[in-house]
Amino acid sequence: MKTDDKKPMNARIVFVGVVFSIVYLVIALTAVNTQILKGEWLRKKAVVGHKKFVTGSGKRGTIYDANHKELAVTIDSTSIAVRPKLIKDPKAEAVRVAKVLGLSRKNVEKKFTSQKNFLWLKRHATFSQVEKIKGLNIENGILFLPEHKRFFPSKELAGQVIGFTDIDEKGLEGIEYLYDKVLSREKRSPTVFLSEKVDTDGRRNDESKGLSVVLTIDKSIQYIAESAICEAAEEFEAKRAFAVVMSPKTGAVFAIAQYPFFDPNNYKRFDSSIWRNRAVSDQFEPGSTLKIFLAAAALKSQKYDENSIFFCENGVYNIGRNRIHDTHSYGWLTLLKIIKYSSNIGSTKVIEEIGKKNYETTLRNFGFGGKTGIDYPGESIGRFASSDKWKTIDASAISFGQGISVSAIQLASALSAIANKGMLYKPYIVKDIIDENNKVVKKIEPEFIRRVISEKTSIKLKKIMHAVTTDGGTGVNAAVNGYMVCGKTGTAQKIDQYGKYAKNRFIASFVGFAPEKNPEITVVVIVDEPKKQHYGGIVAAPVFKKIVFETLNYLNIPPDTKIKRFTVDAGKRHSG
């Protein structure tokens, strides 16, 4: 070959060599960029296509009663999911799976033929269901995923207080709702790899655990209260009933019972109207139980004492076109006997004497017309108009507890102030927040609000309230053997859909505390729309009696062996 012929050949070789060199360089640079510079990003991108994020949380904290008995716990559970693209015979497998899980065949088949990578079949399946599905030997297409499930070991006990969570353990009602962030603490997103076989044997141990909550609620006292209101509600065929038991010295709530009950483990099986805690959220007209605070206003004025006498018009009293009646005909009655016999006319005469502004001020000082501040969601403020808007008949009605609305927790709080030497404390349900080692992270101390009456006035009110439970008093059925108790009956008509008082719908109540000299418990009992009887002294007083007797025995409060009856002097006369 001539030299001149070799030159074009060499040029082509050089050109090809340069091209290949450039190609190799590009490949090398791409490899470096892919494996080194973008390696981590691509790895994550690849993983995303092979895994499923399941929203969830770490193990939820426990809810304990005052004695650290479990009221709400989190247990291990297994949920069943499907990878549709890996199911070889969707139609046939859907029949088998639907039968085991008790699901619709069509729905299961629809999930098995879906184009999605992941779908739930059964959240929180039973052990039997899990084992049977495993026995079907559906390779790769079925996942058994470890989860947590909220469980309430005492079932209905304190159901409305504790509340419940949804399937993902998010608090929906009660303490579970209010303390949701505390109980769940740190949110998690458990990862399920679609390329791996996941089973219940592979539970992760690195998850966080929420803080736990210790309540002031005592399971034993809660059971006593629930049993008592259940008996009364069933005996008198009441629409509902509830009771509050609390410490007058601290504001700690020992029990909030509500009938009908519901099981938070299966809350969807119950009507949603039963879920809420009516002792906190509902308002009602208190009826004659409010006369206690009328007596407080009279005594506080220092113009009257328990022996001051008012003329009760022999059973009928006209106020303009309106007429006030008593159940019995009374002439002159002392302030003590007005409360003991629950005279509406006597109460009207008292408010005429002390003035409506003084009465309003007393009621507001006791906490009516405002929230108590209890650590519980949905508290009602009640309905309480300013006294400058009261007409004469309005003042009369409010003197005996009609035309004003309160909640059971407001009543319990206000009564506790009388029991506690005139000192008002904020009611509360949670006393401690603790970690998984039972170390107290936050302690809730009793919170003093204000003094509402003097200790001297408190003593006089106790004497008046004790008289209610003695012979001739409307609350004689609340008297407890071995203990001097203080209380007041209430019977209030309910307002109908037209804004008028219904003739056959009542709220029967009894409120009080015990023992008289050193009260340890305040008890409020409300029975809504009893049918066979409607008087508080007949329907609610025996419930109070049972709760007080059994609770004082449980608390080891010794009975008073020196109980003596007292008499009332004639006293001074006030026409009113």
Residues 331 and 448 in one domain: yes
CA distance 314 to 318: 12
Confidence (pLDDT) at 514 = 97
260-to-114, 239, 556 alpha-carbon distances in Å: 44, 8, 30
Q: What DSSP designation does 285 have?
A: -
Q: Rounded mean pLDDT of 422-448? A: 96
Q: Is residue 438 part of a domain?
A: no
Residues 159 and 246 in one domain: no
Residue 35 has pLDDT above 80, yes or no: no
CA distance 1 to 86: 67
Beta strands in 83-175 (DSSP E): 119-125, 142-151
Beta strands in 320-359 (DSSP E): 322-325, 332-334
Q: Is residue 174 part of a domain?
A: yes
Q: Could you say which of 131, 164, 187 is where a domain stops?
A: 187
CA distance 554 to 557: 8
Q: Could you say which of 171, 187, 203 is where a domain stops?
A: 187
Q: What DSSP designation does 428 have?
A: B
CA distance 148 to 379: 31
Contact call for residues 202 and 146 (beta carbons, < 8 A): yes
Residues 254 and 120 in one domain: no
Residue type, 538: I
Structure tokens at 369: 């017309």
Residues 127 and 236 in one domain: no
Confidence (pLDDT) at 148 = 83
CA distance 382 to 371: 8
Intra-chain end-to-end CA distance of the chain, in Å:
143
Residues 410 and 453 in one domain: yes
Q: Rounded mean pLDDT of 79-86? A: 84
| Least confident piece of the model among 75-79, 141-145, 537-541, 560-564 | 560-564
pLDDT 10s digits, 144-173: 888 888 999 999 999 999 999 998 889 999
CA distance 440 to 443: 7
**Of 148 and 28, which is predicted with more confidence?**
148
Residue 23 has pLDDT above 60, yes or no: no
Cis peptide before 146 (omega within 30 of 0): no
pLDDT 10s digits, 334-388: 999 999 999 999 999 999 999 999 999 999 999 999 999 999 999 999 988 999 9
Contact call for residues 530 and 539 (beta carbons, < 8 A): yes
Residues 408 and 259 in one domain: yes
Structure tokens at 343: 């005279």
Q: What DSSP designation does 480 have?
A: B
> CB neighbours (10 Å) of residue 438?
11
Contact call for residues 310 and 575 (beta carbons, < 8 A): yes
Q: Is residue 25 part of a domain?
A: no
Residue type, 300: K
Q: How many domains does the chain have?
A: 2
Which band of pLDDT confidence, cut at 50, 70 and 90, is reported for residue 202?
Answer: very low
Q: Could you say which of 130, 163, 187 is where a domain stops?
A: 187
Which positions are annotated as active-site residues? Answer: 288
Residues 153 and 287 in one domain: no
Q: Is residue 324 part of a domain?
A: yes
DSSP string, 532-567: S---HHHHTHHHHHHHHHHHHHHTT----TT-----
| Least confident piece of the model among 85-99, 464-478, 557-571 | 557-571
Contact call for residues 162 and 264 (beta carbons, < 8 A): yes
**What radius of gyration, in Å, describes the C-alpha atoms of the chain?**
35
Sheet order of strands, 501-514 included: 253-259, 240-246, 521-528, 501-514, 486-495
Structure tokens at 497: 């859909």
> CB neighbours (10 Å) of residue 446?
15
b/e burial code for range 152-186 (CB count within 10 A of at least 16 → b): bebebbbbbbbbbbeeebebebbbbbbbbebbbbe
Q: Rounded mean pLDDT of 457-483? A: 96
Residues 182 and 228 in one domain: no
Residues 122 and 250 in one domain: no
Q: Is residue 107 part of a domain?
A: yes
Decide: helix, strand or coil at residue 289.
helix
Q: Rounded mean pLDDT of 198-207? A: 44
Helix H segments across 367-407? 392-399
Say which CATH number the domain at 157 has: 3.90.1310.10
Say which CATH number the domain at 232 has: 3.40.710.10
User: Which of 575, 509, 32 minimizes the C-alpha distance to 242?
Assistant: 509
CA distance 95 to 72: 37
Residues 328 and 456 in one domain: yes
User: Which of 364, 360, 387, 366 minimizes the C-alpha distance to 461?
Assistant: 366
Contact call for residues 416 and 451 (beta carbons, < 8 A): no
pLDDT 10s digits, 129-139: 888 888 787 76
Average pLDDT of the chain to the nearest whole number: 86
Q: Is residue 112 part of a domain?
A: yes
**Of 24 and 111, which is predicted with more confidence?**
111
SS3 content of the chain, % helix, strand, coil (to 5): 40, 25, 35
Contacts of 304 (CB under 8 A, 6+ apart): 298, 335, 350, 353, 354, 574
Residues 494 and 383 in one domain: yes
Confidence (pLDDT) at 318 = 94
Q: Is residue 21 part of a domain?
A: no
Residue 38 has pLDDT above 60, yes or no: no
Q: Is residue 148 part of a domain?
A: yes
Residues 165 and 263 in one domain: no
Confidence (pLDDT) at 204 = 46
Decide: helix, strand or coil at residue 502.
strand
Domain hosting 331: range is 219-428+444-574
The residue length of the chain stands at 576
